[in-house]
Amino acid sequence: MAGNKPEDVQRLADMIAPNSIGHLTDVLFRWLRDSHDAAHDLQLQRKDDRGDWYNDTSFGTDRYQYLVQTAKSLRDELDDLLVDRGENSLLLKLPRVAVYPFRVEAGPYKPIRNISDLRKELLSDEPPSDEETRDLHLLTRKEALVNGRELLLLPWTGSERQGCTGIWAGQGILEGSLINWGWIVSLDTAAEGGGTQVHPTPLGPIPTPDVFDGHPPSLPTLRPHPERPHGSGG
């Protein structure tokens, strides 16, 4: 499959079982798409006879709050899902992995802006800097959050004009403002229902991982949201 390495697709399928890649992608894409729609609708209300106050910040805040406040609804659609909103983060926990969704402005290979301390720790492979934590062998925040699971990164792109435009899944380490991906898969899902199709999205060069046996599952197709009028460019 062009753009996605078969062994990476198989690795992802093993990690998210008992859910399939197609089903997980459909559920997450609809959730992300709905967050853009809901935030867009709210921007139209941010005005009165004195003026308006919608902007990139208000759109991004409304979109984030939608995701945080509605995440538990995903338990009705994904088998064995636990939602963890602790430590100012949002993790979607399956039996083997803790899925960390986060927005990237221009795709997974571009610099990440506004990296919080917690995000830096989640994306880092460095030992704890706190001396007491090291000496007492205490759990780091990352270890406490994933609770024995592997961390699966889920970067996504989207804007008010187009909605959710891309989703990826993989594992990598933050180096400066860039993620050095060990492996990554582009997830494509149909914006409207109707079955699954293979529609690969070429990514960039990816380091060669270990090879897994077996045939990889097919991925569904993502179609971007039609461009629409907007209150901001976020």
pLDDT at residue 138, rounded to an integer: 74
Sign of CA dihedral 62, 83, 152, 118: positive
- Side-chain-side CA neighbours of 7 within 13 Å: the count stands at 10
pLDDT at residue 224, rounded to an integer: 52
Q: Which long-range contacts (CB under 8 A, 24 or more apart) does 21-24 make?
A: 21/187, 21/217, 21/219, 22/189, 22/196, 22/217, 22/218, 22/219, 22/220, 23/77, 23/78, 24/78
pTM: 0.76
155 backbone dihedrals φ, ψ, rounded to 5°: -75, 145
Instruction: Give the residue ranges of DSSP H helices in the chain.
Output: 6-16, 21-43, 56-70, 117-123, 131-135, 141-146
* Domain assignment present for 207: no
pLDDT at residue 128, rounded to an integer: 57
Q: What DSSP letter does each residue of 26-50 carry, written as one string?
A: HHHHHHHHHHHHHHHHHHTTSEETT
Structural domain including 107 reads 6-46+53-187
Q: Is 159 in a helix, a strand, or coil?
A: strand
Tokens representing 102? 């986060």
* Domain assignment present for 61: yes
Number of H helices, E strands in the chain: 6, 8
Q: 113: pLDDT confidence band, cut at 50, 70 and 90?
A: confident
Q: 211: pLDDT confidence band, cut at 50, 70 and 90?
A: very low
Q: Is 174 in a helix, a strand, or coil?
A: strand
∠ CA 113-227-62, rounded to 5°: 50
* Domain assignment present for 65: yes
* Domain assignment present for 153: yes
* Domain assignment present for 222: no
pLDDT at residue 48, rounded to an integer: 86
Instruction: Report which residue type is found at 105.
Output: E
Count of domains forming the chain: 1
pLDDT in tens, 53-101: 888 889 999 999 999 999 999 999 999 999 998 767 899 999 999 999 9
Question: 193: part of which helix (H) or strand (E)?
Answer: none
* Domain assignment present for 151: yes
Instruction: Report which residue type is found at 225.
Output: H
pLDDT at residue 96, rounded to an integer: 97
* Domain assignment present for 224: no
* Domain assignment present for 168: yes
